[in-house]
Chains A and B, each alone.
Chain A
Amino acid sequence: MRLEPSNQIAPKALTVWRIYGAFNSLFFILLSIGSILLVLLTPVPVWVSIITILITALLTYLFIQVLPAIRHRVWRYEVREYEIELKFGLLIIRRVLVPMVRVQHVDTKQGPILRHYELSTVTVSTAATTHEIPALDRETADQVRDYISQMARVSEEDV
């Protein structure tokens, strides 16, 4: 059995994902508020609102509590001399190998939330595909980026 990639992403990523989850559930929360108003102002039966609120509560719990935790537990990456290995997923666990020779360029990027937590996303692009390591603390991300870009440059096979 092959060893799994060893590095975990930043613990703070969990917090960020919870925030994203909160944003996602916002839509459903608005929907529940709407359903309450609907029940109060129109002859729509009460159970419509109750069901909406229950579903919202469940989804909010999933989005904020469960899914980020699973995702974070699963996420692993490893940058080796000749390849990058990623492992991630919720319902579908994916393991990806990207050979260094195939890497065309590598980026780091930060959204406002990531910046607040001093995190960066590393994006690795091959000629055909793009892969992401979603949240590393900034120094690690910069290191990873520099290392990959350096390794990618060294080995020049024809495409």
Chain B
Amino acid sequence: MKELLVRRLSLPARTAGLLVTLGLAALADPPAPPPAPLPTLGAVAQEGIQVPKPPFSEGIFPCSSCHDGKSMKVNPQRRELTGMHGDIVLNHGPESRWCLDCHDPANRDRLRLASGERIGFDTSYQLCGQCHGDKFRDWRVGVHGKRTGSWNGAKQYLLCVNCHNPHSPRFQALKPMPPPTRPEQIQARKGGAR
């Protein structure tokens, strides 16, 4: 998924614009099948910031296909999840935080701000920004987080959750790419230095 995102982001800005249009068209007219293999961008969120789609696990959204409020009742009890979502490690202030602080109990396809206002997953940065106001401010002006595209034109942002797993937000360690060759390891080569 990460790979895909990165590749999607390196699309020239013009193509990206077109894709946004396609994405919006698909939203406005649900029965029309979206052009499946084309990478679609998410909504143009407020402030005109273009963001990609949130990185859901395969087949998990909409959440309401299980959490429909009928066959599965809301259980507000803090507990260890065993049946489903066992893969989620809550390493984001686990003492004070719990699923339903962010996920709306009544409508699981939405997130819930402290004010009670419900928002979509594609504007999840509003939720993050409630606590991380300084990062949010920097992100909005393009200083925290990654921007690609054009320095004097259309830019593509990432959502907070494209880099930080919301349940365990620390940036993942990476394997570094190869270091430079040490001088003593350079081999004389045909056509090389003479």
Question: Do A and B originate from a single complex?
Answer: no
